[in-house]
Structure 1
Amino acid sequence: MASYLNADLHCHSVASDGTLTPEALAQRAKLAGVELWALTDHDEVSGQQRAMAAARSQGLPYLTGVEISITFAGQTVHIVGLGFDAADTLLVEGLRQTRGGRGERAREMSEQLAQAGIPGAYEGALKYVGNPELISRTHFARYLVEAGVCSDTNEVFRRFLTEGKPGYIPHRWATLGDAVTWITRAGGLAVIAHPARYKFTPNEEYALFSEFKHHGGLGVEVVTGSHLPSEYVKYAEMAMEFGLAASRGSDFHSPDESRIDLGALPYLPGQLTPVWELLSERIHH
């Protein structure tokens, strides 16, 4: 029955690029029937104490979380960490260095957008940023919608901010080995986030899973807001092929923008080992 747990182990708060506070997310998760929750802000653990306290006040079991940006085969890939010590020095310092490149990248994005006839995008994006170290494409997208350049954030990403379009600046993130090591040394479990989102060839994807496993990664998101039902099946099979536990998370960012709400996903397929079985001793009640 362990697969039939309404766990939501991937979402974002104002500490990165979400629009809700950790407290509002905890309340929303509880009201949505979530039975195990993790806040996984991008490259940032500053919201963890608030999230844990809010979850406890709601009577909601909680796992610490983070979503780390890495570069693999020339693409940005996300690795979720769950159940770690959020005060671990190696992890905190690694995340600080990973965040460090965002400000410079944001200014370059703004310069490109100015050349495309959209001035002031950096200052505009800053209005949406809870933490200037974590300025991201999402914040620029919100500004371009506010400024009337695009009707919604999807249009922003179609016309700007993606490879080959104005405003796209690649970022050099941590390595796969770095991210998995930071998480596991801090007592946590590393998970490949929404694997269907990456535009890898079959060989590159196989290499990602193989290297991830080699570095000590133990999980993969199977059921996520970014996956189609056919992709649940594909990654359930890959989880079994590579001996990985399965995770489940909405990737919720905002009531207005997210494809799926907290707690609204289908259950994990029953034949898989859920990540929470491996993390039972790390759950905060």
Structure 2
Amino acid sequence: MKIDLHSHTHYSDGHLSPKELVDRAHNMQVDVLAITDHDTIDGIQTAIDYQSQQKRAMQILSGVEISTSWHNFDIHILGLNVDHTNAQFLARLEQQSQERDRRAQQMSDKLAKVGIANVFEDAKELAGVGQITRAHFARVLVQRQVVRDFDSVFKKYLGKGKKAHVKPKWISIEQAITWIHDAGGKAVLAHPGHYDMTTKWLKRLVAEFADSGGDGMEVIHSHLTPVRKKLLADIAAEHDLQASSGSDFHYPNRWTELGKNLTLPEQLVPIWQDWNLVSQ
């Protein structure tokens, strides 16, 4: 069974609609797909309804990727198999949306001071129905040819300490875990191999995540070396965390694909071990 527990739609910083994402997952022969947009679950019901009309069986899991703050790092926590109709959960996620808009407006104000006007408006238009993210700001600046590529945007304007950086006021990891558990889901530390921190700090992060009641971590995600994969597997085992895997798919490209190379190490317990993964 091909399982991918991390993907995005245009409701956050993905480029595909929920229906387009489902179609691509079918093309890649995915059997179980979790949709995990940033701080929103708006696209999930559309995907579930669309999947119910398909001939090929595939299970859509309700998910979300919640932004948190930890020792000056932005840490993402996946909520997997959450109840996407839970009123309390929806209200809590709305707090995150409001913080996104506040931060985005401040970034736009800072960009205006260096001569780059109205970025918030253009980024909001790009985001459409979705959450506004720094990726939308980056796309605007690249389209305007202010910079050459995404990396240059963050190195010059949006990265920590740069001209238009605004420190977010996200919730804590503990709060995110509580929100997820209250919505009936499992809390998973997202893409731990991608955070710009030393191994010492990574181990501290995982330890505190586990101590706070976290359920699992992504030990397989995109762009990991064999050495990094082994490190993540060893850290997960040390803290008795269940293992998850996800492509973190945002749009079709040559580096990341739905369901590709996501096999978990055999010694770890899958995050889905207690779920009834019966294809719809």
TM-score (norm 2): 0.92
Alignment CA distance shift 1:73-1:276 (3 Å): same
3-state SS in 2 of match to 1:221? strand
Shift of 1:209: 1.9
Q: Distance in 2 between matches of 1:115 and 1:136?
A: 20
Structure 2 SS opposite 1:160: helix
Q: Which position in structure 1 is the counterpart of 2:209?
A: 212
Partner of 2:80: 82
Tell me the CA shift for residue 242 of structure 1.
0.7
| 1:106 maps onto 2:104 in alignment | yes
User: Cα gap change, 1:56/1:226 in structure 2, threshold over 3 Å: closer, same or farther?
Assistant: farther
Structure 1 residue 147 corresponds to structure 2 residue 144: yes
Per-residue deviation, residues 185-216 of structure 1 (Å, max 9, x unmatched) = 21111100001222334444333222322232
Distance 1:56 1:276 in 2: 22
Q: Do the aligned partners of 1:62 and 1:283 also contact (CA within 8 Å) in 2?
A: no
Alignment pair present for 1:184 and 2:181: yes
Q: 1:198 aligns with which of 167, 175, 195?
A: 195
Distance 1:270 1:78 in 2: 25
Name the SS of the counterpart of 2:75 in structure 1: strand
Match of 1:272 among 260, 268, 271: 268
Distance in 1, Cα, partners of 2:60 & 2:117: 42
Matched residue, 1:48: 44
Q: In structure 2, the residue corresponding to 1:262 is in which secondary structure?
A: coil
Which of 28-37 and 53-62 deviates more? 53-62
**Aligned partners of 2:230, 2:144: CA distance in 1, in Å?**
41
Offset of 1:105 from its aligned partner?
1.1
**1:129 counterpart = 2:103:** no
Q: Give aligned-pair identity as a percent.
A: 38
Which residues of structure 1 form unaligned runs of 5+? none
Partner residue of 2:233?
Answer: 236
TM-score, normalised on structure 1?
0.91
Cα offset, 1:89, TM superposition: 2.5
Whether the 8 Å CA contact 1:9–1:38 is kept in 2: the answer is yes
8 Å contact 1:226–1:251 — kept in the other structure?
A: no
Aligned residues: 278
Match of 2:163, SS state, is coil
Q: Where does the alignment leave 5 or more consecutive residues of structure 2 unmatched?
A: none
1:252 and 2:241 matched? no
Q: Distance in 2 between matches of 1:228 and 1:169?
A: 31
Shift of 1:284: 6.2
Q: Which residue identity is paired with 1:281?
A: N
Distance between the aligned counterparts of 1:88 and 1:212, measured in 2? 24
**Residue identity in the other structure for 1:19:** H
Mark the CA change 1:266 to 1:176 in structure 2 (over 3 Å): closer, same or farther: closer
